[in-house]
Each structure stands twice: as C-alpha cells, then as structure tokens.
C-alpha cells in the first residue's frame, strides 16, 4: 500500500492536497490590489453619467443667432405676426431622463419660461436606452451647432452656452438672467401661418422683415420645430415622470425670407399635444454645408450602450479585469 508523503510544519502535519490549496490562496497584497481596483471602478461608474457636471463660465457657442418661437397647436390653424424685439429668448436644453442634475436646471428654466423671459426647448440624448425621447434628427441639430457632451447643457439665443448645474454666481437663475439680458438687438417683424391638413400634415407659411446685411457672415435658414408639449415616462431615473417641451423633429424649410412649405409631422409619444414652432437659424458661413438640411426621417433605433458608462470607464474595466486575471 502506498502512503502519501507528509509535510511537517510548526502547526502540524499537512498533506500534498493541503499544500496545493495553500499555494492557490492569493496573498494579502493581491487581495488588497484587487479590492483597490474594484473600488476605483465603482467610483468611476458612480461619477460617470449622473449628469453631475459643474457649471463653467458661460461661453460662446461657436454658432450664430437662433430666434423665433412663434407657435401653434398642430391640430389648430393659426396666423400671427410679431415684432422681432418682442420675441422671448430661446433656451435649448440638452438633457436626459436619467440626468438628476438636469432637473435642477430645468426647474430654473421652467420658472423663466412661466414669466415669459425665455421659451425653453428640451433636446434629449439619442441612442440612449434609458431615454425614449431622442432622435438622430434632433441630436444632429444640437451637435452641428453646439457640439455635445454630458448633460445638462443650455444654449441661449443660439450664441451663449452654459454647461452644468452649479451656478457661477449666487444662483443659476442669476446666471441665466445675465445671459438673456445680452439681447440680440433684433429689429423687424415675422409672420407665421400654420394650416392644418389633417393626417399628420400641414402647410407652413412665413415672412420675415429683417436686414440680412447685418448678418453677412451667416447663412439664414427657416425651420419648423415639431414639439411635444409633454410626455409621460415613469421609468426615467431622474424622477420627473412628466417631461415637457420635447423637440421631436426639426424640418428645414429653406433660406428665403418669404415662403410656404408642406410638411409631415411625426406621431406624438403619447396624447395629442404636438405643436409647430417657427425658428430662424443663422449659421456661420465657415460652418455652413449646403442648405444644412437635417434628415427629416425619424430614426428612433436605440443601441444597447449604457449612458452611465463612458468609453474611458469601459476601457478601465477591461484593463482592470486583465490585471485581476493576471494577478
């Protein structure tokens, strides 16, 4: 009969099986290294995609003026003329349904909108499985004019951009009022007419009286913004549940000062609360590509990427996993 050799130690007698077990037990240093890597990953994931972006000083958007805001319900024919100087400032808010700090920004924007100081519009991230409101069409508009980044981002009158939710002054309200006070000094008037044709279609007519020689370095385009007054999404992790003033589609109508165009409008996310808004975009000639028409087709396909995990974090996860495996 063969007897398994024994190993004598200070603590007693151990078999080869015991020795193999001891050999496979990681050292204290290895365990601590793994724990440190895991903690770093958790911190990275916690900081990424929460929308917790500190506000920087307001900056030039790199694009041209954007103004307008005359609107009517999509199911209601209407005609209106306004002095350009009477139009409210336009606030374009880049947001997401998972962005908790965006709620703080949007509460301030709502207060300013309620008093008539601004007219706010919310652009939701596209290709985001946690946010059903974005589209290629609206994402491309924001990206072309202002670039994109982590929300919240707010652009006023197309020209001034403020990133983040922490105020530069005593409050976000003060920050925004200071920006809005920098008027575009517009003179002239604009007429907007919408004729509902039923079956999600209609005719937009416009006429703008403005001295375009003041904007020789820009190309003007006239646009219809299709906006959903509000939509319910209880799954949004920032807790809002009801999301207002969602820009669903932007349709380029051309560059003429006077014109008429037939358009088709998308379906609402829920309810029957679509609106048609008339907007004038000015784009620096250096950035202008043809008529800068945005694809009108709706492409609501979402990828499976998590908005809360950036490319850098993903790379860190892969590298850390490799280190753990090696150790």
- Can you give the residue ranges of every domain in the chain? 13-47+309-326, 59-287
Query: What are 221-244's pLDDT values in tens digits?
Result: 999 999 999 999 999 999 999 999
**How far apart (Å, rounded) are the C-alpha atoms in residues 91 and 161?**
10
**Nearest residue to 41 via CA among 306, 309, 316, 326:** 316
pTM of the predicted model as reported, rounded to 2 decimal places: 0.76
CA 255 from chain center: how many Å? 27
Q: What percent of the chain has pLDDT over 90?
A: 68
Query: What are 46-66's pLDDT values in tens digits?
Result: 444 444 445 578 999 999 999
**How far apart (Å, rounded) are the C-alpha atoms in residues 149 and 130?**
17
**How far apart (Å, rounded) are the C-alpha atoms in residues 91 and 292?**
21
pLDDT of residue 55: 52
Query: What are 174-184's pLDDT values in tens digits?
Result: 999 999 999 89
pLDDT of residue 287: 74
* CATH, domain 59-287, list 3.20.20.105, 3.40.50.2000, 3.40.30.10, 1.10.10.60: 3.40.30.10
């Amino acid at each position: 009969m063969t007897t398994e050799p024994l190993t004598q130690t200070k603590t007693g007698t151990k078999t080869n099986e015991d020795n193999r077990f001891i050999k496979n037990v990681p050292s204290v240093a290895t365990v601590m290294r793994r724990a440190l890597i895991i903690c770093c990953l958790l911190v990275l994931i916690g900081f990424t995609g929460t929308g917790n972006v500190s506000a920087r000083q307001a900056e030039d958007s790199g694009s041209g003026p954007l103004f307008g805001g005359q609107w009517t319900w999509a199911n209601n024919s209407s005609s209106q003329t306004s002095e350009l100087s009477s139009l409210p400032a336009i606030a374009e808010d880049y947001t997401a349904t998972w962005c908790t700090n965006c709620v703080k920004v949007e509460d301030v924007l709502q207060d300013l909108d309620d008093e008539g100081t601004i007219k706010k519009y919310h652009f939701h991230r596209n290709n985001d499985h946690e946010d059903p409101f974005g589209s290629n069409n609206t994402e491309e508009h924001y990206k072309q004019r202002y670039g994109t980044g982590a929300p919240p981002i707010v652009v006023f009158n197309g020209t001034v951009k403020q990133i983040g939710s922490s105020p530069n002054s005593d409050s976000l309200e003060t920050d925004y009022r200071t920006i809005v006070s920098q008027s575009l000094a517009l003179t002239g008037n604009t007429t907007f007419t919408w004729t509902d044709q039923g079956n999600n279609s209609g005719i937009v007519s416009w006429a703008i009286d403005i001295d375009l020689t003041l904007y020789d370095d820009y190309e003007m385009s006239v646009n219809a913004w299709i906006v959903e007054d509000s939509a319910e999404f209880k799954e949004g992790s920032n807790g809002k549940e009801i999301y207002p003033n969602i820009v669903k589609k932007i349709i380029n109508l051309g560059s003429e000062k006077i014109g008429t165009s037939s358009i088709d409008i998308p379906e609402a996310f829920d309810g029957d609360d679509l609106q048609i808004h008339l907007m004038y975009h000015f784009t620096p000639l250096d950035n202008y590509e043809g008529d800068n028409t945005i694809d009108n087709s709706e492409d609501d396909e979402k990828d499976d990427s998590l908005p809360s995990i950036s490319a850098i974090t993903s790379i860190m996860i892969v590298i850390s996993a490799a280190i753990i495996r090696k150790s």
